[in-house]
A and B are shown apart, each in its own frame.
Chain A
């Protein structure tokens, strides 16, 4: 199917990642707009049950590569598989979520195909010359580059939480095609020996809808308990500023900021965070920002949609109580 739009659907242990569903949702709109098919490509093992969900979010066709050798993601085999499929089917565009896998797979694949790649895009539009044009943040979101390419296929990775989820149509059908790309010895020079997933009931920071974050004002690691309580009520992830991570209160993987993670949740609640430029770089694209800080001059208030000047140790537990009431309604 030349001219099709492909979405690389990421899954782990039978769970499709939210960003892939977001891409299917947006892909569906675009496919309809340009009158071309939307094709989902999924690579892994034990994928049968997923075709229905993928169809529900708008795919016309699902290319399924289902084999034990693809059970765990690995750069070599996945790059080879997609390369073969793309050369065969010649889609017009291939979109990935800007996840750990997307960031690893897309550039390797792009180089093998000899094409460009727009990374970490926060918007995508149909363009009559280059089919798709992208907006992507640079300098940690302090500016944007509007990029396009004349080379095909158009490749891009899209930032999670950029596009809204459609309401799935579970009655929808899609053609399921099983493909069997081969891999060779050169694909096996890196072997995954072990995967350790941190058991966390919290959503992953970069995918969370709501993030409660703490900075220097938290004064110590034990005090994060009050943020965790609020996060539990809201189903949120818990983040930290660089100050807190450098002080050893939180692990680096929870750091939000220029040298940490970039997040764009619907709601970002910054507690005891001053709002240094580097932190804003990591959460500035949040839809709504709330700041709780005892310093009325803190920079964070300049970007917060709602701010409370007060002692977070008083305010946060009270906010937790209020949110609990709301959630129970």
Chain B
């Protein structure tokens, strides 16, 4: 029987990356270490666990450039079965709507019971694409899940909300976005790494999907990027513990006016 799972992932800058703007005011990707978006790792891990439990297949899908193949191969090394990469020069300037449109085209051609994704990408921090995808596919979505149980065409999930959790019963097929705490992603084993190169990794262009760049113009425009004004830190409150504590309290009230 099995549960067929599609996992949408994204390759992002490493969390340690320093962000610099190039001469054109664009984010400079040179010398940056790329990783699988950490939240997507929870999604990949959960997909593999469900496959191990119920049987079925896990397909990972991503939009990106040639470097994105590393991310997909790592997912295959962890235990995913197939990978699809959509790579096209026309997809250089995209917004969440565009990405969702392209993913919809790819995913609607696949058999799935469940779609998983990370709840947010640590680069754009938008937290939109997966939910938009669910809307396009006409399936229910639950975001920020901490626990997933699958049973006979239905999933019971625990969702994180502000200050608490909810228990939600949702029909399959559905889309769930993963929150940290859902699981502990496995390291790809050596055997997994060696098997990954034998697994299918398809690379598609917009043309392969019968899509036109003109129909995919982003709804949001980025007028410019900026860097934060560096904080002027470094001021130390002198004195022993008692004197410093007293002075700090005073400064916070009278100078900073936050107490």
Contact = CB atoms under 8 A, between A and B. Distances in A.
Interface string A101-145: 101101110111011111110000000000001011111111111
B167 A192 contact: yes
A318 B249 CA distance: 10
B252 A288 contact: yes
Contacts of B136: 111
Contact of B225 (A144, A198, A210): A144
A145 B222 contact: yes
Nearest to A19: B162
Contacts of B16: 277-278
Nearest to A157: B127
B15 A307 contact: no
A115 B97 CA distance: 8
B167 A193 contact: yes
A111 B237 contact: no
Interface string B80-99: 00000000000000011100
Nearest to B157: A190
A111 B166 contact: no
| Chain B interface residue number, banded | 35 or more
A149 B221 contact: yes
A139 B122 contact: yes
B138 A186 contact: yes
Given A145-B222, A266-B258, A322 B161 contact: no
A142 B230 CA distance: 10
Contacts of A148: 220-221, 223
Interface string B226-250: 1110011111110011101110111
A75 interface: yes
Nearest to B181: A252
A321 B245 contact: yes
Contacts of B231: 284, 289, 302-303, 305
Contacts of A186: 138
Contact of A189 (B123, B162, B170): B170
A50 interface: no
B259 A112 contact: no
A192 B128 contact: no
Given A139-B19, A258-B122, A308-B248, A107 B167 contact: no
Contacts of A169: none
Contacts of A260: 180
Contact of A133 (B13, B126, B223, B259): B223
A interface, by DSSP: helix, strand, loop or mixed?
mixed
A119 B244 contact: no
Contacts of B181: 252-253
A171 B11 CA distance: 53
B211 interface: no
A326 interface: yes
B135 to A, nearest CB: 4
Contact of B236 (A99, A144, A308): A308
Contact of B233 (A117, A137, A303): A303
Interface stretch (B139-147, B192-200, B201-209): B139-147
Contacts of B15: 140, 258-259, 277-278, 281
B152 interface: no
A142 B228 contact: yes
B109 interface: no
B213 interface: no
B128 A117 contact: yes
> Counting chain A CB atoms within 10 Å of each CB, which of B144, B163, B168, B218 scores highest?
B163
Given A195-B164, A310-B241, 15 more contacts: A75-B131, A110-B132, A111-B131, A118-B220, A120-B126, A138-B225, A143-B19, A143-B27, A151-B219, A200-B163, A259-B15, A288-B256, A288-B258, A310-B240, A321-B245
23 contacts: A103-B144, A104-B143, A107-B96, A111-B100, A116-B218, A137-B125, A139-B122, A143-B19, A144-B227, A147-B221, A190-B171, A192-B168, A194-B166, A195-B161, A195-B166, A196-B164, A278-B15, A281-B15, A303-B233, A310-B240, A315-B245, A323-B249, A326-B249
